[in-house]
Amino acid sequence: MEEPAAHNGSAAGAATGTPARPPATPEGMALAYGSLVLMALLPIFFGALRSVSCAKSKNSSEMPETITSRDAARFPIVASCTLLGLYLFFKIFSQEYINLLLSMYFFVLGILALSHTISPMMNRFFPANFPNKQYQLLFTQGSGESKEEIVNYEFDTKDLVCLALSSVVGVWYLLRKHWIANNLFGLAFSLNGVELLHLNNVSTGCILLGGLFIYDVFWVFGTNVMVTVAKSFEAPIKLVFPQDLLEKGLDADNFAMLGLGDIVIPGIFIALLLRFDISLKKNTHTYFYTSFVAYIFGLGLTIFIMHIFKHAQPALLYLVPACIGFPLLVALAKGEVTEMFSYEESSTPKEAPGASKEEPTEVSKKEK
């Protein structure tokens, strides 16, 4: 976890106050930390549910991106190179122009992600007689039998309405950089990440989480690169909540922070365990709920350790052992370790907890 002025896309950041600001009150800290934990849990839970429908989708625009063991092994290296590259960019070039470019990039991505996120909820508010027309965005390469689809995206008038609403939030963020607009984009990115990024098996998940465990610890404790980038980087790659909200209201500026990497990386592993639960066809979701509780435990431990030692803590240092260890202990107790590690993503899930039989069908028609 980081001081208020610092943030990174992987380590969680939480604030105890800087010399320039009065110390946060216990009530303010409790509200901020509690809100961050809740905001982290929402995209993991609902993203995991939507990942079940996403895995069954037949639409090419809705197919998940599958992470293999090779991808997982290379990911910490790619992430390290990206982080070091950003560090050098901020050292060499003007921070103002780089952040302007990043703002425009995340402005477009944020609108698309938020539109995709709110579509299922918005559908319930449209009247039955709403004139809904279907559209298709198709981009191909080549001709005849060698023609290959590059982009094949289906959408309708309702999706365009959601896109317009998301654009309002995008303009708000671009002009004001308000923390609420930041959080709306951050939640959308997190939910989409958990929904659309799929691990192909549990072994791949262990490789990915283990590699990023080392990555997080090294770049937080070993160098000042991550903290420097975090201080310079202006983009909705974090969730924030003010610790002085009770004193200053919506104009509060003493933020506790949580990087999206600390949500999405454990989240895609938890979503995999949900799909594994469903593949067992036992009408229980033991591993999903176990890993979900493990995530709460790991995040709570991160906050506790940060306050004890008054030092930035890499959240994955605590989240990774918890999210892997708790389900593994349950598998050992139930004698299902072999089934867990032999499960492949090709297994077809049937039903998710808390989702009716109609919900997967609705979501799989159109990613909302």
Catalytic residue numbers read 216, 262
d(CA 270, CA 264): 10
CB 185 within 8 A of CB 113: yes
Rounded CA gap, 274 and 279, in Å?
A: 9
Residue 17's alpha-carbon distances to 26, 131, 242, 259, 307, in angstroms, are 12, 52, 11, 18, 12
Q: Where are the alpha helices (DSSP H) in the chain?
A: 26-55, 69-92, 95-122, 157-176, 179-196, 202-217, 225-232, 245-248, 261-280, 286-309, 316-334, 337-342, 358-365
Inter-axis angle of helices 26-55 and 358-365, nearest 10: 80
For residue 83 the two structure tokens come to: 């982080």
Q: What is the CA radius of gyration of the chain?
A: 21
> What phi and psi values does residue 241 have, to the nearest 5 degrees?
-150, 130
Straight-line distance from the first to the last Cα atom of the chain, in angstroms, rounded to the nearest whole number? 32
Ramachandran class of 283: left when φ > 0, alpha when ψ lies in -120 to 50, beta otherwise: left
Give alpha helix (H) positions in 177-260: 179-196, 202-217, 225-232, 245-248
The CA distance from 151 to 169, in Å, is: 26
